[in-house]
Structure 1
Amino acid sequence: MSPHTTSHGPQPVPALPGAVGAWTLRPAPAAPVEGGLTLPAPAAGTARAYTALRGGCAPAFQVEIQRVLSHPLRGCYPVGAHDLLLAVIPLAPQPEPDAVALLDALTQALFGADPRCRRVMAAPDVADVPALERYTAGRFRTVAEADLHERTVTLMVVEPPQVMEVSTALDDMPH
């Protein structure tokens, strides 16, 4: 059994609605975009790509979503079967508030589409300062760096409130 499958097969990436927040999402081919995830031929259904448009204007962002377990990052940080990897790549210069609003809308939509998802990860290149700032402004927090074959990335995560509210204090643990 491959590492991204369960006894029931690979976990599909949930489909997102045609609109999230003020953004329209159109399905797109998972073609490599500079700064993207470099999607390795994932198992069927374990990756999706969208073009995000705001107000019917020209495409503003490429959005790539993949199951972490179907990406080489699966060995770099503890992940669950439902955790997602997200890349939001500007297709043209965009005001940062637009990217932050899109990240917020996407993470809310992803947690809503898959209630068993415990975290959404991002993995921008360590030298990509605009991407690091974009994800940080979008409430992603840095957790580690990881060396992949072709580059070093900063692992960033955002978790839903029900995960963040769980106490990790030793006194709160059952004995």
Structure 2
Amino acid sequence: MPALPAAVGGWTLRPAPSTPVDGGLPLPATARAYSVLRGGSAPAFRVEVQRVLSHPLRGCYPVGARDLLLSLLPLSARSEPEAAALLDALARALFGADPRCRRVMAAPDADDVPALERYAAGHFRPVAEADLRERTVTLMVVEPSRVTEVSTALDDMPH
């Protein structure tokens, strides 16, 4: 599991407890959680990163062994406008930390319009909906240009 650097796009990342702020179940041991701060202020976001293969989403969409699941949770309404730039910086940092990662995914609730807009503004694109045991999510992905620029035209395939 790649670790994020201590600073990303002008933000400071600090390791956070594995138990979510809403009191939900702790993250698996293979996941990492961070508090995200700007300057010396209180945390503005909580970031959680884990391998998709260690999450129930692994059976919902074709995933690679190095694909990551990213969750960004705003901790105040004031931080919402900065979420898109942070998501973009986080995705770039994750691709830099693990060059063999081909996809960073997000899975906001399908009916959570602010979250869907937040990820879309951060360059994540929706690819499918998935029914998990407790909710329906929209799978959103961002991929590096080295993946998206590969031609799939039959004439370009080796024969």
Residue ranges of structure 1 left out of the alignment (5+ in a row): 1-12
Work out whether 1:17 is the aligned partner of 2:5: yes
Distance 1:114 1:27, change over 3 A: same
Structure-2 residue corresponding to 1:71:
55
The alignment covers a number of residue pairs equal to: 159
RMSD (Å) for aligned C-alpha atoms: 1.7
Does the Cα contact within 8 Å between 2:44 and 2:74 map onto a contact in 1? yes
Structure-1 residue corresponding to 2:74:
90
Query: Which of 36, 40, 49 pairs up with 1:52?
Result: 36
Does the Cα contact within 8 Å between 1:33 and 1:89 map onto a contact in 2? no
Shift of 1:73: 0.2
CA distance in 2, matches of 1:41, 1:86: 12
CA distance in 2, matches of 1:139, 1:39: 28
Structure-1 residue corresponding to 2:138:
154
Structure-1 residue corresponding to 2:19:
31
CA distance in 1, matches of 2:21, 2:26: 13
Does the Cα contact within 8 Å between 1:87 and 1:123 map onto a contact in 2? yes
SS at match of 1:127: coil
- Identical-pair percentage: 78
Give the helix-richer structure, 1 or 2.
2
CA deviation string 1:64-98 (max 9, x = no partner): 00100000000001111110000000011135441
Query: 2:118 is matched by which residue type in structure 1?
Result: R
Residue ranges of structure 2 left out of the alignment (5+ in a row): none
Shift of 1:17: 1.2
